[in-house]
């Protein structure tokens, strides 16, 4: 990190990380318990593992099923909340809830992990660290410490976004913190990472994978860089099955890196990389073997399988699935059945959800905020398009292709999982956070935009960072007003 003044770069990096962590902490302390999506079952998973040291089996993974331990049940029943309306708060009820949770026995239940038992265990094992540190405290205090710990992963995501942008724009160090702060101050990222949710660790691992891929294209393929990429992928896969969307792009990046090597070096690299891959994948293979032995299949109890169950449908079901995936991101074609009841997922889910939809994806910031955000987005996209046109001769098409493959893979995996979830549960699936595996690309687009603004770039960077900060503050206040107003 000695380019452009190593000390200054390190200070900028750590400043961005600090902003991200503090942002997550603010969400941790202002968001009421269990309001982050699926937080009840994620806490239940940590509660069971933290008390027993065992990974919970898939006892009851039906969506919405909750069979908490007495301690967790006392906390849940004492927190007044609604999925679709502001809750009512009462000081006496709060005191009673704390007293009930304190008096209830820990008595963990395997079923309290609920649907979270289908997830791999890495995030929950790490969250057991703050859980055990605060083991003698009230359950609400343990949850708070777990939330604060989870926010650290947003700092890791921000750090790798900073490093990723540095690889993409090595001659423009002033753009690196701009891209990183775009991620650090993203409200949905802070809201989710500030709760107990494995997405926080998944995004951090994905950001590390982006950085590793950029290093391969900038500095060439070697065992150390591929080991870094494999380590990021293993962490992601041991966190959440959706990470399998990263594998096509990662494999393509390694293949293109090997192709660029001279033949003798390529042969040596192939042998070395095979050994490196085997070593890096041992934890994953070991986990699959354990889950197969204890739960009957690699997909049980946190198996690293795909994010949705069920095979590929045929006939009319396949037609519906393809139509669903298309309409999830693009306008419906005339011959397609309308699968979204007349609304546009692109605006309502992906864009408005990105600007600010909280709780269980029901509370949305006012429409005017989204419209301001749309104006900013159009300006950023226009500047990125200008940059691609002006810098076309300097763009590595192979690297750009890898990132496009990454985007396509994530979109397809989320789309297929969403369709199968709807078919299985008859419930909506779509939430903006499912695309946050691509957060580093968001930061990179912002950095490229300010770089493309030429002599106005630094002024634009200041304006955008100020807007990001204002957006974050507004989102926090909006969330507080919903729950406490």
Is 214 within a domain? Answer: yes
Dump pLDDT digits (tens) for 149-203: 999 999 999 999 999 999 999 989 999 999 999 999 999 999 999 999 999 999 9
Q: How many independent structural domains does the chain possess? A: 1
pLDDT above 50 for 348: yes
pLDDT for the residue numbered 313: 47
pLDDT above 50 for 477: yes
**C-alpha span between 327 and 346 (Å, rounded):** 9
Identify the H or E element spanning 7. helix 6-30
Identify the H or E element spanning 385. helix 367-390
What's the average model confidence in pLDDT over 444-467?
95
Global pTM value = 0.90
Is 1 within a domain? Answer: no
pLDDT above 50 for 448: yes
Give the count of beta carbons closer than 10 Å to the beta carbon of residue 12.
20
pLDDT above 70 for 239: yes
Is 171 within a domain? Answer: yes
Position 283 confidence tier, pLDDT thresholds 50, 70, 90: low
3-state DSSP call for residue 134?
A: coil
Higher-confidence position of 104 and 140: 140
Q: Which of 309, 308, 292 is nearest to 300 (CA)?
A: 292
**Least confident interval from 174-183, 265-274, 298-307, 457-466:** 298-307
**C-alpha span between 157 and 236 (Å, rounded):** 12
pLDDT for the residue numbered 300: 44
pLDDT for the residue numbered 84: 55
Domain ranges, residue 12: 6-484
The token duo for 147 is: 């939330």
Using the structure block, give the residue that is written with the tokens 């004492």: 78
**C-alpha span between 276 and 279 (Å, rounded):** 5
Dump pLDDT digits (tens) for 356-398: 888 887 788 899 999 999 999 999 999 999 988 887 767 788 8
Sign of the C-alpha dihedral, residues 210, 215, 221, 227? negative
Is 316 within a domain? Answer: yes
91-103 vs 70-78: helix axis angle to the nearest 10?
Answer: 180
The token duo for 318 is: 């396949």
pLDDT for the residue numbered 420: 86
> Quick check: 232 and 208 in contact, CB under 8 A?
yes
Is 441 within a domain? Answer: yes
pLDDT for the residue numbered 173: 93
């Amino acid at each position: 990190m000695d380019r452009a003044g190593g000390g200054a770069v390190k200070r900028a990096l750590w400043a961005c990380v600090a902003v991200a962590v503090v942002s997550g902490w603010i969400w941790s302390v202002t968001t009421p318990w269990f309001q982050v999506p699926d937080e009840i079952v994620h806490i239940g998973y940590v509660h069971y593992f933290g008390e027993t040291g065992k990974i919970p089996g898939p006892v009851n993974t039906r969506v919405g099923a909750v069979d908490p331990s007495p301690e967790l049940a006392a906390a849940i029943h004492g927190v007044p909340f609604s999925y679709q309306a502001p809750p009512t708060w009462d000081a006496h009820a709060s005191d009673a809830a704390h007293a009930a949770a304190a008096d209830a026995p820990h008595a963990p239940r395997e079923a309290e992990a609920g649907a979270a038992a289908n997830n791999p265990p890495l995030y929950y094992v790490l969250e057991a660290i703050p859980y055990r540190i605060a083991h003698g405290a009230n359950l609400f205090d343990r949850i708070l410490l777990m939330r604060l710990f989870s926010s650290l992963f947003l700092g890791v995501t921000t750090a790798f976004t900073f490093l990723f942008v540095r690889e993409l724009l090595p001659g423009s160090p002033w753009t690196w913190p701009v891209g990183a702060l775009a991620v650090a101050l993203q409200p949905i990222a802070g809201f989710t990472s500030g709760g107990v949710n494995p997405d926080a660790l998944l995004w951090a691992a994905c950001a590390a994978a982006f950085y590793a891929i950029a290093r391969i294209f900038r500095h060439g393929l070697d065992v150390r860089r591929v080991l870094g990429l494999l380590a990021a992928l293993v962490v992601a896969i041991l966190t959440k099955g959706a990470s399998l969307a990263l594998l096509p792009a990662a494999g393509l990046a390694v293949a293109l890196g090997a192709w660029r090597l001279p033949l003798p070096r390529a042969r040596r690299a192939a042998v070395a990389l095979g050994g490196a891959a085997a070593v890096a994948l041992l934890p994953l293979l070991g986990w699959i073997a354990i889950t197969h032995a204890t739960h009957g299949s690699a997909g049980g109890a946190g198996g690293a399988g795909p994010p949705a169950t069920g095979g590929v449908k045929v006939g009319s079901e396949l037609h519906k699935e393809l139509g669903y995936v298309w309409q999830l991101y693009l306008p419906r074609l005339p011959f397609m059945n309308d699968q979204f009841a007349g609304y546009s997922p692109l605006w309502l889910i992906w864009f408005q959800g990105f600007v600010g939809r909280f709780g269980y994806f029901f509370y949305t910031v006012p429409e005017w905020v989204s419209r301001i955000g749309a104006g900013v987005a159009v300006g950023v996209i226009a500047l990125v398009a200008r940059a691609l046109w002006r810098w076309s001769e300097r763009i590595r098409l192979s690297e750009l292709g890898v990132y496009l493959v990454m985007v396509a893979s994530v979109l397809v995996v989320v789309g297929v999982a969403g369709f199968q979830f709807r078919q299985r549960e008859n419930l909506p699936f779509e939430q903006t956070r499912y695309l946050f595996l691509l957060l580093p690309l968001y930061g990179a687009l912002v950095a490229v935009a300010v770089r493309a603004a030429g002599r106005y770039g630094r002024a634009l960077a200041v304006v955008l960072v100020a807007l990001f900060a204002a957006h974050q503050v507004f989102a926090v206040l909006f969330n507080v007003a919903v729950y406490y107003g």
